[in-house]
Structure 1
Amino acid sequence: KKVGYSALDHVQSKEPQYIKRYHGMKKKPQTESKAHKNMIFYLKNTKGYKIDFFKRKKYDEILPIFQAKFDANMRFLFKSREEMEKEDEEIIKSINETPA
């Protein structure tokens, strides 16, 4: 073993049990019910949906709503600077064209 790996092993052996358990849990796949719950809370917290909207809806009914909102959010986050500047110019142009 190299020196760096032996130091890493030493640090990992000193980790508390709850940290090891957390790392093990991160690797487990989500159940459908847990994914259902996570999607509901994402939509509630980021898009303003009410919990009552999702009552008695199944995973398959919520998934398209979640994917549409999540994909729109990802497109917004990964827009290039040029796309954002182009949109800003279009907005400014439309504001200047409107009669006062």
Structure 2
Amino acid sequence: MDDTFDSDAAGSASAGSTTAGPDDTRPTEEILAAWWAELCAALGLGAVPIDPDALLALAGRAAHTVVRPAAPLTTFLAGYAAGLSGGSRDALDAALTTSHRAVDERSHAS
């Protein structure tokens, strides 16, 4: 599996997006917060009952324990599982806990 991102294949950013370019001097946290809000709005979501940092932590652990492309897959599946379980804060917390446990088990099995 290729472990790179092809920005040309993904398409270009639309006008008015929060895409950070090489001259963007805003702190990463500010860029991510703006992107989170923009994407939630684009998806028609209201307030999402989870801290984006919790997802980033899970993504980082999956990337460093499994393989880098596991990061988006892990967070997607955790969100999907939470949605299937009702999408409440409790469902999100349970999905994150289960996902962290799976990553831990993977690291101990290696």
TM-score norm. by structure 2 comes to 0.25
TM-score norm. by structure 1 comes to 0.27
Name which one, 1 or 2, has greater alpha-carbon Rg. 1
